[in-house]
Structure formats: structure tokens, C-alpha cells
Structure 1
Amino acid sequence: MSELVVVGFDNPQDADRVLTELIRMKKEYLIDLEDAVVAIRDTGGVIRIKQSVNLVSLGAAGGGLRGAMWGSLIGLLFLNPLAGLAIGGAVGAGSGALSGGMMDYGINDDFIKSIGDTLKPDTSALFLLIRKSQPEKVLAELSGFKGHVIRSSLSPEQEAKLQAALSKAHPPSPSEGVEAASAVAAQPT
């Protein structure tokens, strides 16, 4: 069963940054995301929603393959399988794109909009539907980002661990950056 997690951030860029990190972790098999959505509320109060799964292209691809298969089979009946393949593929891709645009996959759009309406201006939120993960490794990677859990279906213990990891983050002060750079430069190579 998938777990839903919604994390809020105090600036509009962090939700995108965390999603980029999670996608990198997905490639390393540390997390398996079913769906991920970024909601950003700009300074004017307008909410932008970025879906990670493009349903129109997904529907067009699947519809095109099914249409090409059925078109070539029907084309065989009329002794013109190439025409059936081309026509069936085009019709299937068009109908697949149309159905993909109307489909709601993963996290409910109304839920995303309702949480997005509660965001303060110039902030963002990341909505995640997680199939499975390596919690310790994922939390260690996310501890560099400062955020707060808005909603989750995690157990209270897991949610507390996530909140603790997101609370640890603090941006380095300019003096810390200079000290770290001078320490690295002082090390012998």
C-alpha cells in the first residue's frame, strides 16, 4: 500500500529541489514513487501545479500502440495491413491522448488544490505517493532541506522522524561557507 506525504516549504524552489533529489534516489532504488506533484503559490497568490506524470503523452503512447495493433489486424482483413497500422496508430494515439488528459492518476487533483489553497504566498508544497523506500537513507538525504509535514498517512513514529529530519536543516551562514572553503584549501593533496 502506498503512503501519502505532503511537505510544505518556506520558499517556492525547495519543493522542486527535493523532487529532483527524490528522482535521483529513485534511480538508486532508495525510493519508489507512484506519483509526485509540486504546488507553488507565487507572491500574487496564484497556485501553479506541476505533475510529475504527463498523462496526455502516456495515454497517447499506449493508445497509439493499441491502435496500431488493432489497425494492422483489421488491415489484414482488407489486405492492406500497412494502411491499417498507420490509420489505427493515429486514431489510437489521438483517443489515448484525449483519455489521458481526462484521467486522474495517483494523488487526487481536488486534494492538491485544497492543500494548495492553504499555502502562504511565496511558498511551495511537495505531494508524494510512495510505494516503498529505504527510510533511513532517504531521511539522511532530505535532512539538508527545511520543511514541515502538512499531511501524511505515515505512522506517528515515521512522521516524527520525517519532521525531525526536515527540522534539522539550516542554510549555512556566509561565514560557515568561508570557513569550510578555507579548511578544504588548507588540506594537503
Structure 2
Amino acid sequence: MSDLVVVSFKGEETADQVLTKLQQMQKEHLIDLEDACVLVRSANGKVHLKQAVDLVKIGALSGAAWGGLFGALVGLMLLNPLAGLATGMAIGVGTGALSGALSDYGIDDDFMRSTGQNIEPGSSALFILVRQVNFDKVLPELKPFGGKVLKTSLTNDQEERLKKALESLNSSGTTA
């Protein structure tokens, strides 16, 4: 089961920087992210979501592959495999992109938008679903970014460790 962690940061680019750092740590097997999204609340108060996984692109690619395969098979039966392949791929791309646009897994967009209304304009927030994390290695890497924990589904002990790690920088007065 994954844990939800929502942290807000000063500055519109900070959450992007933290996500990049977490993705680097994921390659080192220090953290296992299931889903991630950066929310930016611009200076004029508009909320923008940046999904880490582009479901439309993934849907279109998988649809093209399956459509091409089935189109080639149908075309082979009708003695014109190239026309079947082209038609199948075109239909597959369209249906795959549509299914990718309509599917939403992971963190609910409405939840993120409503939470985003509660952060300061000109700031950002990072929403992550974490399968596993090595707190002893990850928390020191996140200290330079500061941040404020908004919501978590972590245990009380884990949440306190995260808050203390982020607040130690905030209390010194040198935020990123």
C-alpha cells in the first residue's frame, strides 16, 4: 500500500526541483514512487498541475502497437497487410489517446486542485504516492528545499520525522 505525502514549497519551481531529486533517488532505490504531481499556484492565483506520467502519450503508444498488430492480422486475411497495418495503427492511436485522457489513476486531480487553493500564490506543492522510502537517506537530501507538510498518510512517527527535517531549515530562516 502506498502512502500519500503533500508538501508545499516557496517558489514556483521548488516542487519541480524536489521531484527531480526524488526521481534521481528512485534510480538509486532509496525511494519507490508510484505517482507524483507538481502543483504550481502562480502569482495571479491560478492553479496548474504537472503530472509526472503522461497518460495520453502512453495510451497512444500502446494503442498504436495493438492497433497495428490487429490491423496487420486483419489485412493479412484480406490480402492487404500494409493497408490493415496503417488503418489499425491510426485507429489504435486515436482510441489509445482517448482512453489515456479519460483514465486517471493515482492522486485525484480534484483533491490536488482543492489543496492548491490553500497554498500561497507564487508557490508550489508536491503530491507523491510512495510505496517505500528509506527515510534515513532521503530526508537529509530534502533539507535544502525546506517545505511545509500539508497532508500525509504516513504513521505519526514518520510524519514527525518528515516535519522536523523540513522545519529545521525553516526555523533557521534560510529557505530555498
Gaps of 5+ in 1: 174-189
3-state SS of paired residue (2:4):
strand
Gaps of 5+ in 2: none
Deviation at 1:158?
0.4
Deviation at 1:82?
2.2
- Number of the residue aligned with 2:162: 162
3-state SS of paired residue (2:117):
helix
Counterpart Cα distance in 1 of 2:130 and 2:24: 15
Is 1:101 the counterpart of 2:101? The answer is yes
8 A contact 1:144–1:168 mirrored in 2? no
Identity of paired residues, percent? 50
Counterpart Cα distance in 1 of 2:135 and 2:58: 30
In the TM superposition, what whole-angstrom CA distance separates every residue of 1:150-184 from its partner, at most 9, and x where no partner exists? Answer: 001100000011111111226897xxxxxxxxxxx
Tell me the TM-score normalized by structure 1.
0.86
In the TM superposition, what whole-angstrom CA distance separates every residue of 1:111-135 from its partner, at most 9, and x where no partner exists? Answer: 1111011111111110001122222
- Number of the residue aligned with 1:90: 90
Counterpart Cα distance in 1 of 2:84 and 2:169: 58
- Number of the residue aligned with 1:122: 122
Counterpart Cα distance in 2 of 1:39 and 1:123: 9
3-state SS of paired residue (2:144):
coil
8 A contact 1:57–1:100 mirrored in 2? yes
In the TM superposition, what whole-angstrom CA distance separates every residue of 1:61-120 from its partner, at most 9, and x where no partner exists? Answer: 111111111111111211222221221111101111111112112110111111011111
Counterpart Cα distance in 1 of 2:60 and 2:154: 35
Q: CA RMSD in A?
A: 1.6
- Number of the residue aligned with 1:73: 73
Deviation at 1:10?
2.2
Counterpart Cα distance in 1 of 2:14 and 2:153: 22
Q: Which runs of 4+ in 1 moved over 6 A?
A: none
